[in-house]
Amino acid sequence: MTVHWDPAAREWHLANGRVSFAMRVLENGWLGHLHAGAPLGVGASLRHLGPAAFAGFTNRVGEPVALEVPVPGVGDFRVPALVVEGPDGSTVLDLRYAGHRVEPGKPELPGLPSTYAEDPAEAETLEIDLRDEPTGLLVTVRTTMFADRPVLARSLTLANGGGAALTVRCAMSAVLDLPDAGWRLVTLSGTWARERYVHDRALIPGRQSVGSLRGASGLEHNPFLALRREHATEDAGEAIGLSLVYSGNFLAEAEVDPFHTTRLRIGIHPEAFSWRLEPGATFTTPEAVLAFSAEGLGGLSEAFHALYRSRLARGPWRDRPRPVVLNNWEATYFDFDHDRLVAIAARAKALGVELFVLDDGWFGRRDNDDSSLGDWIVDRRKLPDGLEALVRDVRALGLRFGLWIEPEMVNPDSDLFRAHPDWAIGVPGRARTESRQQLVLDLSRPEVVDHLTEALVAVLSSAPIDYVKWDMNRNITEPWTPSLPPDRQGELFHRYILGVYELYRRLTARFPDTLFESCASGGGRFDPGLLAFAPQAWTSDDTDAVERLAIQWGTSLAYPLSSMAAHVAAVPNHQTGRITPLFTRAAVAMFGAFGYELDPTAMTDADLAEVARQVAWYLERRELLQYGRFLRLRSPFEGDGNETAWMVVDASGERAVVGHYRVLAHPQPVRNRLRLRGLDPDARYRVTTWADGFGAPVGSVERAGDELMAVGLGIEPPDPMPAGAVFDAIRFIRGDFAARLFELRRIQPRRRGAGA
Ligand code: GLA
C-alpha cells in the first residue's frame, strides 16, 4: 500500500520509500499541498509543512500557500492550474473537497497516451474530487504512485455537473509548489539539427518557462523541465523532474514568488487553448510525470528511462532488440529507382544490416519536396513494379523492409489537395503560410483521420512492411477549422493532437508487429506522447558525430537509449561538412537504436569491411546498448565541451560499454582519468579498448571495479596502452574527433564476498 489516508487529519501521504507526496484538505475545503520529493516516513502528520490553518486568503492576500489546484482571482496571484470561465464570464472557482477513492493499478486516460501498470499491484491511484458548487464543476485530481519507482503520474479530469456550459481556458496537468527557490532550472532547447541542448540556470523571482505554440511539442523546447540543487551532479544531490506525456502545444514553467517559494506547472499551453465543456461533458488533461532523485540528474534520468522504456512504450517492440537499419535518405534523397534501391539493400545486407528503410520520394510524383504529400500511391516511374516488387526483392535478400510516410501533411500540388482543399488547416479568404511547400491536414476532423486510416492501411497491407518512419515536417499556421464554431476555435490544436493519437492508435492496432519510429524534421516531436505509440524516434536530422554528442546527451536527460535512433552517415557530413573518422561516427551512434544513413555502394572496400565489423560488434552487444542502464560521465555542455563520456551497464554490473569522445586534439594532454559508475565494486573486470576500428582491440587489461569507480580508467595516458606504444604526447594523439570504446566484463570469482 502506498497511499496512506488519515481521515481525522484529512491528510494523504503517498509514499513508497523512494518518493513521498503529501496533501491535505485545508480548513476551507481546498486541496493543500504539503510535500513532494524526498521519501519521508509514514505515520506522523506532515500538516505543519503547510499553514497551521487555512480558510482562504482572508487577510494576507498573496501569501504563498501551497496548493494542488490553484485558481485565479481568489488571493493566490501566482500562475494557476485551472482557469474555467462560468456562464457569467467569471473565472472565480471555489474547489472544495468532495470525496476520494484509491484503486489498485492505473486507469487509461480517454484518447490520450499515458504510462501504465501491467499488473494492478505495480501501482496505486488516488482520485480526489473537488467541487465548485456555483458552477457544478467537478475536478478529479488523479495521482498514481508506482510501487517501486521514484515517480508519480498526475492528471486532472474536469466534469461539468452544472446546467450551463463552461469554458476551460487553462488546464494544467500538474502544479507543484516547493517551499524554497534554491534550485537550478534545467530545460532542453534548440532548433532543427541541434535539438535538446541542455540549458541550466539559477531560478530567480518571476516566471521562467519553455513551451510550444506550434501544434507540436517542437524542435525548440521539450515538454520537460528539471530542478537540481546547486551542487547536484550526475550522481549526487537532489533533483526533481516534470515531463508531459503529450505531443502538442505545451507549457513548462517555474515561478518564484516574493517569498522565494517555487511553483512549477506543466500542461497544455493555455495560450491558443480553450475548451467548451457542455453540461455532462468531461475533459481530461494529458498526464504529467514527476520524478524525484537524490542521486542527481543521473538518478532522475534513470527513473524516466526505466518508466518510459517499460511502462510507456507498448507492443511487442517494447522489449525486442531493435533492428540495425540502413536508411536511403542521405544516400539518394529523392533520386532513386527500384534497381538502385535493391543494389543499396544488397550491399547493406552483406554488411550485416537487418532492415532497409525506403525514405521520402516513393509516392505520387515526388522528385523534390514540392509535391505529392497526401497521394500515398506508389510512383511507378521510380518503382515500375510497385512497392510489392521492391519489398519482395529486398526481403529476398534476407532483409526486412521499412517505409517512410508523412501522413499529417499535404502539398497543394497533390490530388488529395485538389479533391479536398478544405482539409488543409487555414482560414478561408486568407493566405496560408506554406513551409516546405506543404500544409497541415486538419486531423481534428474525423473524416480526415478516417481517410488517412484507409489510405495508410492500403499502403501498409500492400506488402509486408516491418517498420514505419512516421514523419511530420512542419508546424501549424493560420489555425482554424470549419468543424468548430467561432467560439470553439481554441480547441483545434488539442483536437489535432487527439486526431494524431487516434490515427496512431488505429495503425498500431492494425499492424501490431510493425515497428513505428516517429520523426518530425528530426527530433521535432521527440516526446513521451509519441513514445507510447512509436517506441523510438529519429533523434535529429543532424548526423554529424560531434553534434550528436550534445544532442544525444541532452535527449538522454529524459529519454532512454532504446528510444533514440542514431545512424552513421557519410562524410563530409551533410549538415556540418565535418569529416569525422568512421570509428567515431559508429562509437557515437551505437548508444541508441543503431543504423546507417549513407550509400554503401559508394564506399571504399576498406570502409565496407569496417562497417561490417561495426555491425557485428554492435549486434553482439545490442541488448546492453539498447536496454542497459545509461550513465552520463562527462558532459559536452561543461567546461570547453571538448570531452564527452558516457556508459551503459547491465543490471548486475557484469558487462558495460564506455564511450569516450574528444572533439579537438591538444598536444601534451593533461593527465586524465575517467571515473566509471554502476560497476560491482568487489569484482575484477577485463577492460578491452577499441580506438581506431572495430577489428582487433587496442589492448586489454584487468582492473578492479572499486578502482574503476573511485580512481578511474586511464584516458591520458591511456590504459590499456596500445601494444608496443610508449606514452608520449606525439605518438598517442590520434587527431581531432577521436573516440575510444571500452568494454568491461566481470571476471569471476569476485575478489571479496561469495566467490573470494
Ligand atoms: C525529414 C526527416 C528526414 C527525412 C526527410 C525526408 O527532414 O527528418 O529524416 O526523412 O524529412 O523528406
The number of domains in the chain is 3
For residue 661, CA distances in Å to 548, 550, 585, 636, 658 come to 11, 11, 10, 9, 10
Yes or no: say if 115 and 106 are a contact pair by the CB < 8 Å rule. Answer: yes
Residue 669 pLDDT grade (very low, low, confident, very high; cuts 50, 70, 90): confident
CA distance 10 to 26: 8
The pLDDT score that the predictor gives to residue 752 is 56
Q: What is the CATH number of the domain that holds 616?
A: 3.20.20.70
Predicted confidence band of residue 682 (pLDDT cuts 50, 70, 90): very high
Task: Indicate the Cα dihedral angle 577, 579, 583, 588, nearest 10°.
Answer: -40
Note whether 371 and 334 are within 8 A (CB).
Answer: no
Report the residue among 330, 438, 473 best suited for mutation to probe ligand 1: largest number of ligand atoms under 8 A from its CB.
Answer: 473
Residue 724: per-residue pLDDT: 65
- Is the minimum distance from the CB of 526 to ligand 1 under 6 angstroms? no
Residues 227-255 pLDDT 10s:
999 999 999 999 999 999 999 999 999 99
CB 544 less than 6 A from any atom of ligand 1? no
> Do 379 and 405 lie in a common domain?
yes
pLDDT band at 734 (very low <50, low <70, confident <90, very high): confident
Distance 229 CA to ligand 1 centre (A): 39
Enter the C-alpha cell of residue 43.
Answer: 505515520
Is 70 exceeded by the pLDDT of residue 487?
A: yes
Q: Mean pLDDT throughout 279-289?
A: 99
Q: If you measure from the C-alpha of residue 446 to the centroid of ligand 1, how many angstroms do you get, rounded to a whole number?
A: 27
Spatial distance between the Cα atoms of 616 and 629, rounded to a whole number of angstroms: 22
pLDDT of the residue at 245? 99
Residues in the chain: 756
Of 597, 622, 647, the position where a domain reaches its end is 622
* Distance between CA atoms of residues 451 and 424, nearest Å: 13
Are the CB atoms for 471 and 406 separated by under 8 Å? yes
pLDDT tier, 497 (very low <50, low <70, confident <90, very high otherwise): very high
What's the CATH code of the domain at 673?
2.60.40.1180
Q: Which atom of ligand 1 is nearest to the CA of 519?
A: 8
**Which of ligand 1's atoms lies nearest the C-alpha of 541?**
8
**Rg, C-alpha atoms of the chain:** 27
In a domain, 8, yes or no: yes
Domain assignment of residue 217, given as a range: 3-40+62-311
755 pLDDT band, cuts 50/70/90, is very low
Does the C-beta of 519 come closer than 6 Å to ligand 1? yes
Predicted confidence at residue 236, as pLDDT, reads: 98
Q: Which of 327, 358, 360 to mutate to test the pocket of ligand 1 (most atoms within 8 A of CB)?
A: 360
User: So what's the pLDDT on residue 727?
Assistant: 58
**Grid cell for residue 251:** 507549457
In whole angstroms, give the CA distance from residue 176 to residue 194.
30
pLDDT at 721: 72
> Do 283 and 322 fall within a single domain?
no
Distance 544 CA to ligand 1 centre (A): 15
Gap between the Cα atoms of 470 and 59, Å rounded: 56
Structure-block grid coordinates of residue 602? 559508394
Nearest atom in ligand 1 to the alpha carbon of residue 522 is: 8
Nearest to 691 by CA among 658, 664, 667, 724: 658
Let me know if residue 490 belongs to a domain. yes
Q: Is residue 663 domain-shared with residue 531, that is, in the same domain?
A: no
290 and 303 in a single domain? The answer is yes
Q: Which three cell numbers stand for residue 353?
A: 544490416
Instruction: Mention every residue, 6+ apart, whose C-beta is less than 8 A from residue 421.
Output: none
Give the residue-averaged pLDDT of 493-506. 98
b/e 255-283 (16+ beta carbons within 10 angstroms → b): bbbeeebbbbbbbbbbebbbbbbeeeeeb
* pLDDT tens digits for range 539-589: 999 999 999 999 999 999 999 999 999 999 999 999 999 999 999 999 999
pLDDT at 470 over 80: yes
244 closest CA partner among 172, 167, 160: 172
Q: Is ligand 1 within 6 A of the CB of residue 471?
A: yes
Statement to judge: residues 296 and 412 lie in one domain: no
The finding on whether 597 has its CB within 6 A of some atom of ligand 1 is no
Instruction: Give me 246's grid cell.
Output: 503529450
Q: Is the pLDDT of residue 163 over 70?
A: yes
Report the separation in Å between the CA atom of 360 and the middle of ligand 1, taken as the mean of its atom positions: 7
To 5 degrees, how large is the angle CA 91–CA 97–CA 99? 135
- φ and ψ at residue 83, rounded to 5 degrees: -125, 110
Least reliable range by pLDDT among 395-409, 448-462, 569-583, 737-751: 737-751
Closest Cα to atom 12 of ligand 1: 360
Q: At what angle do helices 605-627 and 338-351 cross, to 10 degrees?
A: 70
Lateral strand order in the sheet of 684-690: 629-634, 643-649, 655-662, 738-747, 684-690, 699-704
- The verdict on the CB of residue 521 being under 6 Å from ligand 1 is yes
The closest residue, in CA terms, to atom 6 on ligand 1 is: 360
675 in the same domain as 577 = no
Q: Cβ distance 651 to 664 under 8 Å? A: no
**600, 622, 644 - which closes a domain:** 622
Q: Which of 622, 645, 676 is the last residue of a domain?
A: 622
Q: Dump pLDDT digits (tens) for 524-533.
A: 999 999 999 9
What atom in ligand 1 is closest to the CA of residue 520? 8
Q: Which of these, 683, 701, 692, lies nearest to 732 by C-alpha position?
A: 692
C-beta 538 within 6 A of ligand 1? yes
Question: Whose C-alpha lies nearest to ligand 1, atom 1?
Answer: 521
Q: For residue 190, how far is its CA from the centre of ligand 1 (angstroms)?
A: 18
| Contact status, residue 718 vs residue 732, Cβ threshold 8 Å | yes
- Percent helix, strand and coil across the chain, each rounded to 5? 20, 35, 45
Among the residue ranges 310-314, 436-440, 452-456, 726-730, the one predicted with the least confidence is 726-730
Exposed, middle or buried by CB within 10 Å (0-12, 13-18, 19+), for 130? buried
Give backbone dihedrals phi and psi of 35, rounded to 5 degrees, phi first. -165, 145
- The predicted structure's pLDDT at residue 754: 45
Rounded Cα–Cα distance for residues 200 and 558 (Å)? 15
Task: Please tell me the distance between residue 406's alpha carbon and the centre of ligand 1 in angstroms.
Answer: 9
381 and 270 both lie in a single domain: no
Q: Where are the alpha helices (DSSP H) in 22-117?
A: none
Model confidence at 428: pLDDT above 50: yes
Q: Which of 325, 336, 371, 541 to mutate to test the pocket of ligand 1 (most atoms within 8 A of CB)?
A: 541
541 lines ligand 1 (CB under 6 A): yes
Report if residue 56 sits inside a domain. Answer: no
- Find the DSSP H helices in 112-231: none
| Å from CA of 627 to ligand 1 middle | 26
Pocket of ligand 1, candidates 409, 472, 521: which has the most ligand atoms within 8 Å of its Cβ, to mutate? 521
Does the C-beta of 360 come closer than 6 Å to ligand 1? yes
Mean pLDDT of 414-432: 97
Q: Report the half-sphere exposure of 412 (CA within 13 A, side-chain side).
A: 9
Pull the grid cell for residue 210.
519553455
Q: Please state, rounded to an integer, the average pLDDT across all residues of the chain.
A: 96
Q: Are 299 and 393 found together in one domain?
A: no
pLDDT category, 60, cuts 50, 70, 90?
confident
pLDDT surpasses 50 at 522: yes
CA of 264 to the centre of ligand 1 (A): 35
Under 8 Å between Cβ of 301 and 228:
no
Question: Of all residues in the chain, what percent carry a pLDDT higher than 70?
Answer: 97
Does residue 512 share a domain with residue 645?
A: no
Cis peptide before 720 (omega within 30 of 0): yes
Residue with cell 500544409: 439
Residues sharing a CB contact under 8 Å with residue 524, sequence separation 6 or more, in sequence order: 192, 195, 216, 217, 218, 219, 472
CA of 521 to the centre of ligand 1 (A): 6
* Residue 398 CB coordination number (10 Å): 10
Question: For 433-522, where are the alpha helices, taking DSSP H only?
Answer: 446-460, 492-510
CATH number for position 280: 2.70.98.60
Please tell me if the CB atom of residue 358 comes closer than 6 angstroms to any atom of ligand 1.
no
749 has pLDDT over 60: no
Higher pLDDT residue, 18 or 730? 18
How far is Cα 516 from Cα 500, in angstroms, rounded to an integer?
Answer: 14
Residues 111 and 26 in one domain: yes
Q: Is the pLDDT of residue 753 over 60?
A: no
The percent of residues in the chain predicted with pLDDT above 90, rounded, is 94
Residue 50 lies in a domain: no
From the list 375, 355, 428, the residue with the least C-alpha distance to 615 is 355
pLDDT at residue 756, as a whole number: 37
Q: How confident is the model at residue 733 (pLDDT cuts 50, 70, 90)?
A: low
Based on the domain organization, do 32 and 16 belong to the same domain? yes
What per-residue confidence (pLDDT) applies to 728? Answer: 56
404 lines ligand 1 (CB under 6 A): yes
Q: Which atom of ligand 1 lies nearest, measured to the CA of 524?
A: 8
Check if 329 has its Cβ closer than 6 Å to any atom of ligand 1: yes
The backbone torsions φ and ψ at residue 562, rounded to the nearest 5 degrees and listed phi first, read -65, -20
Residue 754 lies in a domain: no
Q: Which residues are catalytic?
A: 471, 541
Predicted pLDDT at 219: 98
CA distance linking residue 75 with residue 257, whole number of Å = 14
Label residue 720 by pLDDT band (50, 70, 90). Answer: confident
Domain-embedded: residue 338: yes
DSSP state of 403: E
The grid coordinates of residue 682 equal 568487489
Does position 355 have pLDDT exceeding 70, yes or no?
Answer: yes
Q: Do residues 641 and 502 share a domain?
A: no
The residue whose C-alpha atom lies closest to atom 11 belonging to ligand 1 is 521
Q: Evaluate whether residue 293 is within a structural domain.
A: yes
Give residue-wise pLDDT tens across range 582-637. 999 999 999 999 999 999 999 999 999 999 999 999 999 999 999 999 999 999 99
Nearest residue by C-alpha to atom 2 in ligand 1: 521
Centroid of ligand 1 to alpha carbon of 704 (angstroms): 46
223 three-class SS:
coil
Residues 6+ apart with CB under 8 A from 538: 469, 471, 517, 518, 519, 522, 523, 565
Ligand 1 neighbourhood includes 359 CB (under 6 angstroms)? yes
55 domain residue, yes or no: no
